[in-house]
Structure 1
Amino acid sequence: MEHLKPQSPEPLLTLSGVHTHIGQYHILQGVDLTVPRGGMSILLGRNGAGKTTTLRTIMGLWKASAGSIVFDGRDITRMSTPDIARLGIAYVPESMAVFSDLTVRENLYLAARKGALDEARVDWICGFFPALKKFWNYPAGNLSGGQKQMVAIARAIVEPRKLLLVDEPTKGLAPAIVGSLMAAFRELKDTNTTILLVEQNFNFVRTLGDTVGVMDDGRVVHAGSMPALANDEELQQRLLGLSLDSHQ
């Protein structure tokens, strides 16, 4: 008797033929992207390829001019950003967006949907980023760039999320802080949080990534497993013009 393989679960997020215009510029030109449930999906590509625009379009900050975005079985293409966030999607922009005049605690409090902080979850987050407790009552605007990035990520995960969109979290960060981010993302992957990450630190993503999409000129030109790309130098050269092994 033939044994049938179990069908894989439906992906958490699917972009189909997504186009995005910003003013007169046609940035996304038919993006097809599938993000499986669980684990970490990576978006690679040169500057200007459309990676950040893809994240912002998913979040509803920029509206798709064509195509569809389906999250957890629901079409979110025309939904507002607050409604998208309520479905369980959080976005950490590259700009390390924090409320500068508010303390670290107040920044996290504003992100707590229940109007109160889950102290156990805060302790869990601070286990990765001890500086948050050290500067708990300091204005976030007084922190360093790396510390602000910690606050931005902590804000995004202070409540459980289904999907976390993160734009270049390691940019400009010290190696020790990058190590803390790596530990945090590893644990998040074990808590039913799916992560879609835009990143240029190849050593970082090859360690954490499960699947990968490579963008060029507003399209996804390659999709597959991250280990397959990391272990195929010829494919790296063809898609990225460099070897991941040379970027430690």
Structure 2
Amino acid sequence: MPEQAPTSTLPLLPLLSLQGVHTHIGEYHILQGVDLIVPRAGMTVLLGRNGAGKTTTLRTIMGLWKASQGSVQFDGQNIAAHATPDIAQAGIAYVPESMAIFSDLTVKENLHLAARSGPIDTARLEWIFNFFPALKKFWNYPAGNLSGGQKQMVAIARAIIEPRKLLLVDEPTKGLAPAIIDNLIAVFNELKSHDTTILLVEQNFNVVKNLGDTVAVMDDGRVVHAGNMRTLAEDEDLQQRLLGLSLASHQ
């Protein structure tokens, strides 16, 4: 009987890892040696006080601000010096806190522009409409005429109109009604189940508690804690030490 090949027990390499990343914006030294690991096919939540460097981290990954030192490894390749369009082409999408939609264009035109590889896949569009029915209703409306929550739907839909390996999302629930937040949670859960990796900056504890697999806490431009989201969620002393507050009070 032929001998069976040994089964590998080595863990999968992370989809994204930052090692010693520094970012300067003008004269300001914002990121001061960020080390961050984002495992594949789950959600990593990035927490921290205002000004800790969370948004700068996302923008550095996306190439909107260039790392002055360190490496940004994505799917086995160092992308720290790559241009933003090349990073997007590699499979990373970014939803900034500002949403960055084209206000003068219709919802339809916004999504068609985001479909980089060609015409929109009809089945995928219907899948998005299932979570965000307002987009179908306002398909031919200028995006600038939509409510804040509806604009956030457009921003998320633009990022996922094509399959992505990694989704970077900055404060998606800020100012949204609970019903829309529930839809976002459903979308993120569905994306995770289809092997999309998500790096999320978010202050809504109910969202991170339900969705987060791993967590990294930033302070003064560095990651000061990384681990399992559940561990942090269940340890109020750790929350107080790292964030200066109990996450339960931030719901």
TM-score range, shorter chain: over 0.9
Mapped pair 1:119 → 2:122: yes
Matched AA of 2:224: V
TM-aligned CA deviation for residue 231 of structure 1: 0.6
Q: Would you say the 8 A contact 1:203–1:244 is kept in 2?
A: no
Cα deviation 1:184-238 (Å, max 9, x = unaligned):
0000001111000000111111110000000000000000010000011111111
Quote the residue 1:84 is aligned against: 87
| Corresponding residue number in structure 1 for 2:76 | 73
For residues 74-129 of structure 1, give each alpha carbon's deviation from its aligned partner in whole angstroms, at most 9, with x where no partner exists: 01010000000000000000001111111101100001123211111011011111
Unpaired stretches in structure 1, ≥5 consecutive residues:
none
Provide the secondary structure at the position in 2 that maps to 1:170: coil
Q: Which amino acid aligns with 1:186?
A: N
Instruction: After TM superposition, give the deviation of residue 72 of structure 1 in Å.
Output: 0.1
In the other structure, the counterpart of 2:3 is none
Of the three residues 171, 174, 193, the one matched with 2:174 is 171
1:135 to 124, 135, 138: 138
1:193 and 2:171 equivalent? no
Q: Per-residue deviation at 1:173?
A: 0.4
Deviation, structure 1 residue 246:
2.1
Q: Distance in 2 between matches of 1:30 and 1:5?
A: 33
Q: Does 1:97 align with 2:115?
A: no
Taking the aligned partners of 1:17 and 1:182, their CA distance within structure 2 comes to 32
Asked if the contact 1:60/1:79 (under 8 Å) is kept, the reply is yes
Give the direction of change, closer, same or farther, for the CA distance of 1:4–1:107 in structure 2 (3 Å limit): closer
Distance in 1 (CA, whole Å) between partners of 2:41 and 2:173 is 21
TM-score (norm 1): 0.97
Residue 167 of structure 2 aligns with an amino acid whose one-letter code is L
Q: Equivalent residue of 1:18, what SS? A: strand
The alignment yields a C-alpha RMSD, in angstroms, of 1.2
Q: Percent identity?
A: 77
Secondary structure in 2 aligned to 1:192?
coil
Residue 4 (structure 1) shift: 9.2
Q: Displacement, 1:5? A: 8.1
Q: Is the alpha carbon distance of 1:194 and 1:141 closer, same or farther for their aligned partners in structure 2, counting shifts above 3 Å?
A: same
Give the count of matched residue pairs: 246
Q: Distance in 1 between matches of 2:86 and 2:205?
A: 33
Three-state SS of the structure 1 residue aligned to 2:153 is: helix
Question: Please, which of 20, 38, 42 is the counterpart of residue 39 of structure 1?
Answer: 42
Which blocks of at least 5 consecutive residues in structure 2 are unaligned? 1-5
Q: 1:6, CA displacement in angstroms?
A: 1.6
